[in-house]
A = this chain, B = another copy of it.
């Protein structure tokens, strides 16, 4: 029952099965990947004015993101410096003037500084500047709040904007979509019983498209050949001849985003930003996925469908547009769950194989492996 010992050149190996199930490996991924890279946590437009906040799980931490009186967004570990209570218990809120811990009323300004606590004035030896909320690095791009828990974050330009440019083969193309000015037409949250890596692997390849995505393949006929947009640099998959828009039935979509170049007019682009973002670009909307890994075998995925503000305001029917990728998501996540079920089998102890149209997944596997301790590789 020996498997995969010597592979023909058409095949390259995947990660071994236990890398999708082992709790220790998952904890390393949290520590070395999700808590070290930039993480798209929240849509900026989810915040209202000063004092509005969101709390979100990033790696193993709960992060509090709040808009200050100066309108700037800031992020903090959501933990009181006194006795460690969670400061904000809600997922979101507005109009906070202060951030007050609900246990002993230690009180922080919206910039995180400690401004008051019961009896604090009698503790003259305490330097309150040392007891503010612990800050977390924050950047905004594409209308999302990206945070990084690392002491010294990696370059945002290398790991985020550069990753997007690298996939599109051009620094500026994505600017055409003005994603930060689009509005959320719909958000759907998926609870996927599969390891986050299975979801990325799935997103990167189109060898499965003909099998599980009949509607998508109808709209993008070249996907029937199994080569994903992500296989190539700068490649947009062309709409089918009779297809008018990126919708469930190929009928026309909504108003195209006017700022994109004409050559992207009937094309679909797909970008992965490691470790947890997928972006799809089509002429009239953008689909933006954020993954939140919860356990080795469970991942929450938030998917936003973004349109021109005037389109959202008009109340136009977006359902055919949303239905296409919602169906793709359900098909993909079902597939990831099928793989999760078998990852612990002896048949997958050494992993499986990648066919030529999947070979680029090997780069992702290398990227993951570089972050993990020795011994996680092939058995």
Contacts and interface: CB of A to CB of B under 8 A. Distances in A.
Interface of A: 1, 3, 8-11, 14, 17, 60-62, 77-86, 89, 102-105, 117-119, 122-127, 131, 134, 149, 151, 201, 207-208, 210-212, 225-226, 335, 338-339, 341-348, 351-357
B118 A342 contact: no
Contact of A118 (B11, B77, B210, B348): B210
**Oligomeric state, in copies:** 3
A1 B335 contact: no
Given A81-B353, A102-B335, A127-B8, A342 B211 contact: no
Given A77-B346, A79-B347, A342-B78, A125 B84 contact: no
State the 9 A-B residue pairs at the shortest beta-carbon distance, nearest first: A10-B123, A8-B125, A79-B347, A85-B338, A84-B348, A105-B211, A77-B347, A79-B342, A86-B341
A76 B328 CA distance: 30
Contacts of A8: 123, 125-127
Residue of A80, A86, A122, A347 with most partner-chain B CB within 10 A:
A347
Contacts of A3: 81, 134
A126 B207 contact: no
B355 A82 contact: yes
Residue of A89, A151, A211 with most partner-chain B CB within 10 A:
A211
Given A8-B125, A208-B104, A119 B357 contact: yes
Given A62-B341, A82-B353, A103-B211, 4 more contacts: A14-B83, A60-B345, A104-B208, A118-B226
Contacts of A102: 211-212, 335, 338
Contacts of A344: 60
Nearest to A100: B211
A216 B100 CA distance: 21
A278 B228 CA distance: 54
Nearest to A85: B338
Contact of A103 (B225, B335, B346): B335
Nearest to A119: B226
B210 A347 contact: no
